[in-house]
Amino acid sequence: MSKILVTGGAGFLGSHLCDRLVGDGHDVLCVDNYFTGSKRNIAHLMGNPMFELLRHDVTFPLYVEVDQIYNLACPASPSHYQHDPVQTTKTSVHGAINMLGLAKRVGARILQASTSEVYGDPQVNPQPEGYWGHVNPVGVRSCYDEGKRCAETLFFDYYRQHDVGIKVMRIFNTYGPRMLANDGRVVSNFIVQALRGEPITIFGDGQQTRSFCYVDDLIEGMVRFMESPHTFTGPVNVGNPADITMVELAESIIELTGTESQLVFKDLPSDDPKQRRPDISLARSELGWEPSVPLGPGLTRTIEYFKEAL
């Protein structure tokens, strides 16, 4: 049993991670400021003696004694992180500094939930970890993209300078139950619009591609990475290497929901990447990990969740 801190633990990914860690018998401290997280996501854990909840913003130091830290705190959808871009950058950078300082003090291993956004609008497809990216440093998405890139820099500098045990994981599009209905992400947007019988909004011509990983697969990869040898720091891509166009995704969701929503096309937002697909060769070789939930069954589970949530 380990004592484990999960920042952003009441969010979409964080709450599923807390479920997994408590289920594995660990003592879990969940920290969240509820900007995008919700107590509803972890309400079922509140009576468990192995789970503790603390309201806290990671831009301020935290003094606790833990063995492992999963640093997931940061809004991850464009509509949320662009709402307060300065605070988004602070969360990524100051949050990383504070959590790395904690890890250094207590000798904890720490995993950074980085993102495929560090690759920007990639000129290489699929994206391997060795690709340095194609990022606009002054655009409307830069608060998130560059904030996460700076966090990666801090993690590796703490590793080189202070021998902190780090893990840097680049998360590609993930979906599943507990996504927010208004988070602006394509899967939740399409499902909510379809269930409400509204037109499905597609930006651009709909031929841009994404790959989607079901949340259970993502959490499995995250836990395996944390438990991997100290020398394997990453960065490592975790996501689904099978990609799909936005039009194909919308048509699949219309079929699965049984609605008659029509497709409506709008202008592509600034700096929106045309393609996003991970090369997961490193995750396969070092972690023995690859996604196991196909898109169809994963979307079905997510649709059932939103039927209840709405």
Query: Residue 87 sits in a domain of what CATH number?
Result: 3.40.50.720
Q: Of 234, 268, 271, give the one whose Cα is nearest residue 128.
A: 234
The pLDDT value given to residue 87: 94
Tens digit of pLDDT for each residue in 80-118?
888 899 999 999 999 999 999 999 999 999 999 999 999
| Domain assignment of residue 258, yes or no | no
For CA atoms 60, 223, 187, 135, give the dihedral sign: positive
Return d(Cα 64, Cα 99) in angstroms, integer.
Answer: 11
| Domain assignment of residue 96, yes or no | yes
Range name among 49-58, 89-98, 134-143, 150-159 with the lowest pLDDT average: 134-143
Active-site amino acid positions = 144
| Domain assignment of residue 250, yes or no | no
The pLDDT value given to residue 83: 86
DSSP code of residue 158: H
| Domain assignment of residue 299, yes or no | no
User: What does residue 127 show for φ and ψ, rounded to 5 degrees?
Assistant: -95, 115
User: Structurally, how many domains does the chain consist of?
Assistant: 1
| Domain assignment of residue 9, yes or no | yes
Domain span at 36: 3-175+213-240+277-292
270 — pLDDT class (breaks 50, 70, 90): confident
The pLDDT value given to residue 139: 92
Of the two residues 82 and 247, the one the predictor is more confident about is: 247
Length of the chain: 310
Return d(Cα 171, Cα 117) in angstroms, integer.
Answer: 9
The pLDDT value given to residue 78: 80
Classify strands 243-245 and 209-211 as parallel, antiparallel or unpaired: antiparallel
pLDDT average, residue stretch 155-181 = 97
pLDDT average, residue stretch 256-264 = 94
Return d(Cα 43, Cα 28) in angstroms, integer.
Answer: 14
| Domain assignment of residue 42, yes or no | yes
Q: What angle do CA 222, 225, 231 make, to 5 degrees?
A: 155
Q: Which two tokens stand for residue 86?
A: 């300065």
Helices (H), the chain: 12-23, 78-81, 85-106, 142-162, 186-195, 215-226, 246-257, 281-287, 295-309
| Domain assignment of residue 138, yes or no | yes
Residue 271 has pLDDT above 80, yes or no: no
76 — pLDDT class (breaks 50, 70, 90): confident
The pLDDT value given to residue 310: 87
Is the distance from CB of 259 to CB of 192 less than 8 angstroms? Answer: no
| Domain assignment of residue 171, yes or no | yes
